[in-house]
Copies of this chain bind each other. A is one copy, B any other.
Amino acid sequence: MENLLKNKNIRVTPFRMDVLRVFNSFENAISLSQIEEKLGSFDRITLYRTLKSFQENGLIHEIVMPGDIKKYAMCEEKCGHKEHNHQHEHIHFHCKKCSEVYCLDIPALPNFHFTNYTIENVEIQVKGICEKCQK
């Protein structure tokens, strides 16, 4: 599992391994507080910096939605360094009942075109009711 870090040029430290294990222990995208709960005791600042470096190096991506929803999820292997190379061929689905955020695969991102606008990055967010909460 160390290689997940090494492959993205992230120095391996015990704390970063702890955080990585937290990600691996969840199915879906997770919030800061979920990470904090799992970690138990930790330094808040170090955690912020860890998440920032994970993001910058394409190991995780941030998912934000209206209503102060902010979560983190693992990127795919291929995901590149630095923010501008994050490109995910999936949508982010937020369940209004259980508040889980799922990364759902789609065949391809829709293709927009606006004259004179250069499009570098597309994100799609969907809200609704997830599979498990359908009753």
Contact = CB atoms under 8 A, between A and B. Distances in A.
A119 B112 contact: no
B123 A125 contact: yes
B112 A91 contact: yes
* List of 6 A-B pairs having minimum Cβ-Cβ separation, nearest first: A121-B127, A116-B131, A118-B129, A110-B110, A120-B128, A62-B66
Kindly report how many copies of this chain are found in the complex they form together: 2
B129 A117 contact: yes
Given A104-B114, A114-B93, A124 B123 contact: yes
A122 B121 contact: no
Interface string A74-110: 0000000001100000010100100000001010001
A48 B124 CA distance: 27
Contacts of A128: 117-121
Given A61-B66, A62-B66, A66-B61, A117 B93 contact: yes
Contacts of A112: 91, 106, 124, 126
A34 to B, nearest CB: 18
A62 B106 CA distance: 26
A59 to B, nearest CB: 14
Given A104-B114, A118-B134, 6 more contacts: A64-B64, A64-B66, A93-B117, A112-B126, A117-B129, A123-B126
